[in-house]
Amino acid sequence: MTDLKDDIIGALKTVYDPEIPVNVWDMGLIYDIDIGQDAVVIKMTFTSPTCPMMEELMQQVRDAVQGVVGQIPVRVDLVWDPPWDLSRMSDAARLELDLTNEGW
C-alpha cells in the first residue's frame, strides 16, 4: 500500500490552484488518503470556503488519483475541520510563496 500511497501523492502534486504556484499536496490541502478495498477516499480542504475554483480543483484531484488507481472508485470529501492554516504548508511551499515563520 505504501507504494500506491506514494504514487497517489505524486499525482496530487500535479494539481495546482491556478492562482497559487504551489500544488495541493504542498499547500496542505489534502488532510487524508484512505486506500480501501472498494474505494480511495481523499479528504481535502481549501484555504477559504469561498474559493471559486473549489469544484474544478476537487475534480482535478479526483482525476489525478483515478489515473493512479485505475478502476478503483475515487471519492473526494470536502472537510473544514480542522480549518486550514499556513502551518499545514510544506517548507517548499512556504519558500515558493516567500513566506517565513515571522508573522504567522
State the burial class of residue 29 (Cβ atoms within 10 Å of its Cβ: 0-12, 13-18, 19+).
buried
For residue 10, tell me if it sits in a domain. Answer: yes
Task: Tell me the average pLDDT across 21-46.
Answer: 96
Q: What is the pLDDT of residue 43?
A: 98
For residue 100, tell me if it sits in a domain. Answer: no
Euclidean distance between CA atoms 92 and 26, whole angstroms: 7
39 touches 73 (CB < 8 A)? yes
For residue 65, tell me if it sits in a domain. Answer: yes
pTM to 2 decimals?
Answer: 0.89
Q: What is the pLDDT of residue 101?
A: 62
| pLDDT higher than 80, residue 19 | yes
Q: Provide the number of structural domains found in the chain.
A: 1
Beta bridge partners of 43: 32, 77
Euclidean distance between CA atoms 92 and 83, whole angstroms: 21
For residue 104, tell me if it sits in a domain. Answer: no
Domain interval for residue 32: 2-82
Task: Tell me the average pLDDT across 83-100.
Answer: 87
Q: CATH number, domain at 22?
A: 3.30.300.130
For residue 69, tell me if it sits in a domain. Answer: yes
For residue 88, tell me if it sits in a domain. Answer: no
